[in-house]
Amino acid sequence: MTTFVKVVAAGSLSGAARDLGLSPAMVSRTLASLEARLGVRLLHRTTRRIHLTDEGAAYNDACVRILGEVDEADAAASAGRGVPQGTLRVALPASFGHRQIAPLVPRFAERYPNVRLALHLSDRAVNLVEDGYDLAIRIAELEDSSLAARKLAPNRRVVCASPAYLERHGTPRTPEELTRHNCLVATWEHGFSMTWEYKDPDGRPGEVRVAGQYACDNWEVLREWAVAGLGVALKSTWDVRDHLQDGTLVPLCPGYTFDTDVAIYAVYPHRRYLAAKTRAFIDFLAESFGPEPSWDLPATPAAARVSGADRRPLKPRIKGRTHA
């Protein structure tokens, strides 16, 4: 079962062989033996690719579930040892992983020397079970109820622009005024426009449809474009705190908050027994961020204005948008 699941996840016999430390010939013989025992064909093989049969797809789902239960049993049996060890595979949003988690790894390594940590930085949503990850960090309204989640930090956001842009185009004071500005958006699928949600100074919710000349699905690029004076950006404070502090970006629309019911979560397969290595990393991140993460602590008057956002607890909701 393990060999079969590895082949499906890797997409090839050679890839599975590398993951398992076996020869491709051994993997091929194992699959042939499995199919012979079951009396059905699980995979269609070509020289380059494999394709699941209908029977193979159903069998793969069952194998993933059964092997997960085996992992649970192993974790339960060894829970008393309490020593985090082994390989921990973590999927992270690219910008957040690079800016906020990668710098913490040396301290984690010192505390847990027996854990081998593999970080995957990508804004592509991964399937934890099928893609073989132990844990993912997501900045989103959670969608998949089959996953367990722990909130690590809020995701506060601010509308901002560079002093050079504001000198040329003026300073918007309300969300409605943003419609007259070149806003940097994360999608071009709907005419280079998107909706930004906000709360007014009295806490009433609202939204504004903004648009602009420039769009990119990478949040780091949007930040650098804002710093370069190309337009107005809606950014998470964890991404622009340093720029707000040194004045290269200026917060806009005073009194309005652009937080949504989105937070930073650790998500992992919904299992009764969580491996010590996974629990250790989650606890380490929660400890490192603290009840008030460093990127939201006031430093200068500009940063202090950003940190004045609505601080009510966020509720995990079942939706799929991601934000940065």
Answer yes or no: do 19 and 163 share one domain: no
Rg of the chain (C-alpha set): 23
Asked if pLDDT for residue 319 goes beyond 80, the answer is no
Answer yes or no: do 117 and 202 share one domain: no
Answer yes or no: do 212 and 280 share one domain: no
Answer yes or no: do 104 and 246 share one domain: no
pLDDT value, residue 312:
35
Asked if pLDDT for residue 199 goes beyond 70, the answer is yes
In DSSP terms, which residues pair with 199 in a beta bridge?
205, 257
Between CA 5 and CA 117, with CA 143 as vertex, the angle to 5 degrees is 50
The model's confidence at residue 131, banded by pLDDT at 50, 70 and 90, is confident
pLDDT value, residue 308:
35
Answer yes or no: do 89 and 144 share one domain: yes
Q: Is residue 306 part of a domain?
A: no
- Residue numbers of the domain that contains 180: 157-251
Per residue in 33-87, pLDDT (tens digit) is 999 999 999 998 876 678 899 999 999 999 988 887 787 777 666 654 568 989 9
| 43-45 vs 50-52, strand pairing mode | antiparallel
pLDDT value, residue 32:
92
E strand or H helix at 266, and its extent?
A: strand 263-269
| 250-251 vs 193-199, strand pairing mode | unpaired
User: Which among 78, 104, 119 is the end of a domain?
Assistant: 78
Q: Is residue 304 part of a domain?
A: no
Q: Is residue 318 part of a domain?
A: no
User: What does the alpha-carbon distance between residue 317 and residue 141 come to, in Å, rounded to a whole number?
Assistant: 5
43's CB contacts (< 8 A; 6+ apart) are: 7, 8, 31, 35, 50, 51, 52, 53, 56
Work out the average pLDDT over 160-167.
97
User: What does the alpha-carbon distance between residue 296 and residue 204 come to, in Å, rounded to a whole number?
Assistant: 23
The model's confidence at residue 316, banded by pLDDT at 50, 70 and 90, is very low
Answer yes or no: do 270 and 150 share one domain: yes
Q: What is the CATH number of the domain that holds 146?
A: 3.40.190.10
User: What does the alpha-carbon distance between residue 60 and residue 74 come to, in Å, rounded to a whole number?
Assistant: 21
pTM: 0.66
Q: Is residue 307 part of a domain?
A: no
Q: Is residue 323 part of a domain?
A: no
Answer yes or no: do 290 and 217 share one domain: no
The model's confidence at residue 313, banded by pLDDT at 50, 70 and 90, is very low
Report CA-CA distances (Å) from 44 to 117, 166, 199, 297: 34, 60, 54, 56
pLDDT value, residue 147:
79
Answer yes or no: do 100 and 70 share one domain: no
Between CA 25 and CA 26, with CA 129 as vertex, the angle to 5 degrees is 10
Per residue in 210-224, pLDDT (tens digit) is 999 999 988 899 999
Work out the average pLDDT over 7-31.
89
Q: Is residue 321 part of a domain?
A: no
The model's confidence at residue 311, banded by pLDDT at 50, 70 and 90, is very low
Are the C-beta atoms of 172 and 255 separated by less than 8 Å?
A: no
- The answer to which of 179-188, 277-286, 311-320 has the lowest mean pLDDT is 311-320
Answer yes or no: do 93 and 49 share one domain: no
Work out the average pLDDT over 81-102.
90
User: Which among 49, 78, 107 is the end of a domain?
Assistant: 78
Answer yes or no: do 6 and 55 share one domain: yes
Residue 156 backbone phi and psi in degrees, to 5: -85, 145
Q: What is the CATH number of the domain that holds 67?
A: 1.10.10.10
Higher-confidence position of 93 and 125: 93
Number of domain units in the chain: 3
The model's confidence at residue 272, banded by pLDDT at 50, 70 and 90, is low
Answer yes or no: do 163 and 247 share one domain: yes
User: Which among 251, 279, 307 is the end of a domain?
Assistant: 251
Q: Is residue 30 part of a domain?
A: yes
Answer yes or no: do 201 and 274 share one domain: no
Higher-confidence position of 225 and 124: 225
Q: Is residue 284 part of a domain?
A: yes
Asked if pLDDT for residue 195 goes beyond 80, the answer is yes
